[in-house]
Amino acid sequence: MHDSDELSGNLVEEFLADRTSRKPSPHTLQAYRRDLVAVLRLVDDGATPAGWAELPVSGLGPRQLRAAFARFAAPRSPASVHRAWSTWNAFFTFLVAEGVVAGNPMPAVGRPRAPLPLPKPLRGEETPEVLLAAAARVDGRQRDPWPERDLTVVALALCAGLRLSELLALRVASLAGRADERRIEVVGKGGRPRTVPVEPALDGVVRDYLASRARRFGSRSVRPDGALLVDRRGAPLRRGGLQHLVRACFQRAGITDRVPPGAQLHALRHTFATRLAEDGASAAEIMRLLGHASLAASQNYIEVTADQQRAAVRANRTNRSLLRVTAQR
């Protein structure tokens, strides 16, 4: 059992160590630390000579946290405040489990609803096709071109909507099923499994890639339990390598200006979902295919598509002419 006067700085480090064992990204860990420290500074507000790290946990009650979060929220977006609230909720859940505090005060601290992020698909009607064609070509500027592998990565994101973490977790055996019922078995966010149908074209791309991999590294390199995506040395692709590969494909295709800022690989997943919505898929179908936790996230693609359709109609020259005519009446 911990002392209720334990110092906040020590507890933050214990919490982050616990989170580290769950293998989050460095960016996520930095965000945890940033949100915890920012609010702790506002709770302390100069009251403790040594600073926020010396603030005892007994000083983190509902009243203190409500006041700190009110000041924290003033210059920030609702999404940032919601993220910080979630971090603090996880922090206190950890402290309760460790016996440091008797209860979690965060339900008494207000939080804004988290706005759903807008989809960020590739811009341009033919951009996905341009990217696929570029990934499939041998580029003489590359030191060791492997178009079969590059095309597989791009196609799995564009035609199956897989996240970066899901791509890295794929095994050779993740593609399963009979010839006319091929599918990818994916472990998504929160460990939720799902299957995504694989059409013959995508199946053929993956088969060609595995054949090229066997030629490069031998047949033992394509064992069922091996990583599906590997680097040019035959080692499993890592996060940084996969991100670099996708950026290189964008550059070879000449479409870097059509990739929404901050989206990168996720832009391919969003393109998959947006085209599903444009072609009439329901929110429930999109939810199942993308592994969303809620229907609202999937509905977002349909609503954005409807807005885009209305904008296209509004831009129609005849509508503009009608506007001028009615303005003259």
Active site residue 189: yes
Q: Order of strands across the sheet with 175-176?
A: 175-176, 183-187, 193-197
Return d(Cα 212, Cα 63) in angstroms, integer. Answer: 63
Name the catalytic one among 83, 182, 252, 292. 292
Residue 187 pairs in a beta bridge with 193
Return d(Cα 157, Cα 153) in angstroms, integer. Answer: 6
Name the catalytic one among 2, 71, 163, 258. 163
C-alpha distances in angstroms, 49 versus 31, 45, 58, 76? 26, 10, 17, 27
Tokens at 68, concatenated = 């700190």
The residues, ordered by sequence, that sit 6+ positions from 106 with a Cβ below 8 Å of its Cβ are 65, 85, 88, 89, 92
Name the catalytic one among 189, 215, 223, 238. 189
Return d(Cα 206, Cα 23) in angstroms, integer. Answer: 29
Name the catalytic one among 149, 182, 252, 266. 266
Return d(Cα 201, Cα 212) in angstroms, integer. Answer: 17
Radius of gyration over alpha carbons of the chain, in Å?
25
Name the catalytic one among 19, 120, 182, 269. 269
**C-beta neighbour count of 170 within 10 angstroms:** 21
Active site residue 32: no
Active site residue 27: no
| CB 121 within 8 Å of CB 271 | yes
C-alpha distances in angstroms, 139 versus 53, 77, 150, 252? 54, 43, 11, 8
3-state DSSP call for residue 168?
helix
Name the catalytic one among 19, 252, 270, 301. 301
Among candidate residues 210, 135, 201, 211, the one with its CA nearest the CA of residue 174: 210
23 Rama class: left (phi>0) / alpha (psi -120 to 50) / beta: left
Active site residue 82: no
Helix runs in the chain, H state only: 8-20, 26-44, 62-73, 78-97, 127-136, 147-160, 164-169, 200-217, 239-253, 265-278, 283-290, 295-315, 317-328
Point out the residues that are catalytic. 163, 189, 266, 269, 292, 301
